[in-house]
Amino acid sequence: MNTTQRPQIVVLGGGYAGTMAANRLSGAVRDGLADVLLVNPRPRFVHRIRLHQWVSGTGTAQEEFATVLAEGIELVVDTATRIDVAAGQVELGSGATLAYDHLVYAVGSTGTPPTAIPGAAEHGFVLGEWEQAQRLRDHLASTDRRGSVTVIGGGLTGMEMAAELAETGSTVRLVCRGTVAPSFGARARRVARRRLQRLGVEIIEDHRVTEVGSDTVTVVADGRARVLPSATTVVAAGFGVPALAAASGLSTDPLGRLLTDETLSSVDDPRIIGAGDAVAPSGAPFRMSCQAANQLGPHAADTVLAKLAGDEPSPVRVSFVGQCTSLGRHGATVQLTRRDDTPTRAVISGRTGAAIKELVCRSVIWGLRMEARKPGATPSFGQPRDMGTTQPVGVLR
């Protein structure tokens, strides 16, 4: 229950979007205009774009919340199990409830095993969350690193994981249903493929994985099946979102993302504002990425602040600049993009690309800390979307 006279804002999710939103809202806390609580299932911030480094032992992927979260924000380590929209409260896994005047829905996304592939859930290792990455890291630590590793999925996450493991001594194959790096332009795709091959990654394109066993994978192309040895099978074939919105009776898209208008306000209740991977503004979500989350989080907070002030919220503005993919510790492919995330011909690779990728990873944390120190410091880029031409974006890292 909210026992103060100030409005209570509850932020669900302490990932990139949720932490950025909470930091943006901390100015209202300092001015005595609101109380802000951040609900997160873990006591530490997960730097998700470094999870492949944590798995392979080449880096860390956690930060203390005290180093990235603004003072005055109350951290609640718990899991939201249901939003009682009518009562204006969140039910938590611990049995407690939190009342809210405004709610920022930023529960993020998670790796999901393909249900159409028998054995993937039982024998595969899914990427996406800290616990999943820890399970894979523990498995690799107890397995002969010379044993074969199969990575399913040729998107950005799959490529990063395959390259990282190959560089640290594993025998790795990358299996793609279509082509490797489908979100890249043709030139960047060629560059990434060459780098993977130099690291020793076997790339198998245009093949479907039809079964995952305890030490095998079955791949099929043109009706012909092959059973390949695989001591470790990593599933990086896509992302899903928590079922919280749908379970709470809120409108969602087919994947389960919260449906909002262009101000990020829920189409069901204007007190609920979406941010990050788990939101679909006008049914046309942005690419799942920290690049989008770090813009959607502040915008969600600005929408809340506008509502508190009785002002009209602004439509969402997100501008992409590129897709950065590390390919081992000494290489990367940076595909520069237009603001709408479509690829250009410009590509940066090699050690220069690796330096840019590392700078991006560090700047994400710097950005959170800057917003914590000075709410409103994160700039807004781009123009409001033309919904007459916008098409829904597929699920890519």
Secondary structure in 3-state letters for the chain: CCCCCCCEEEEECCCHHHHHHHHHHHHHHHCCCCEEEEEECCCEEECHHHHHHHHHCCCCCEEEHHHHCCCCCEEEECCEEEEECCCCEEEECCCCEEECCEEEECCCCEECCCCCCCCHHHHEEECCCHHHHHHHHHHHHCCCCCCEEEEECCCHHHHHHHHHHHHCCCEEEEECCCCCCCCCCHHHHHHHHHHHHHCCCEEECCCEEEEECCCEEEEEECCEEEEEECCEEEECCCEECCCHHHHCCCCECCCCCEEECCCCEECCCCCEEECHHHEEECCCCCCCCHHHHHHHHHHHHHHHHHHHHCCCCCCCCCCCCEEEEECCCCCEEEEEECCCCCEEEEEEEHHHHHHHHHHHHHHHHHHHHHHHHCCCCCCCCCCCCCCCCCCCCCCCC
**Residue 45 lies in domain:** 8-109+241-318+364-373
Give residue 392's pLDDT.
40
Mean pLDDT of 121-129: 90
- 248 and 102 housed in the same domain: yes
Q: What's the rounded mean pLDDT across residues 130-150? A: 90
- The answer to whether residues 75 and 189 belong to one domain is no
**Per-residue pLDDT tens for 210-265?**
999 999 999 999 999 999 999 999 999 878 999 999 999 999 999 999 999 999 99
For residue 395, pLDDT over 50 is answered with no
Domain boundary among 235, 269, 290: 235
Reported pTM:
0.94
Is 1 within a domain? no
Which of 210, 235, 260 delimits the end of a domain? 235
* Per-residue confidence (pLDDT) for residue 394, from 0 to 100: 37
Which of the four pLDDT bands, split at 50, 70 and 90, describes residue 388? low
- Reply yes or no on whether the pLDDT at 114 is more than 90: no
Poorest-pLDDT segment among 41-45, 365-369, 379-383, 387-391: 387-391
**Residue 142 and residue 49 in one domain:** no
The structural domain count of the chain equals 2
Answer yes or no: is 314 within a domain.
yes
Residue 197 in domain: yes
Question: Domain of 81: which CATH number?
Answer: 3.50.50.60
| Same domain as 254, residue 179 | no
105 and 245 housed in the same domain? yes
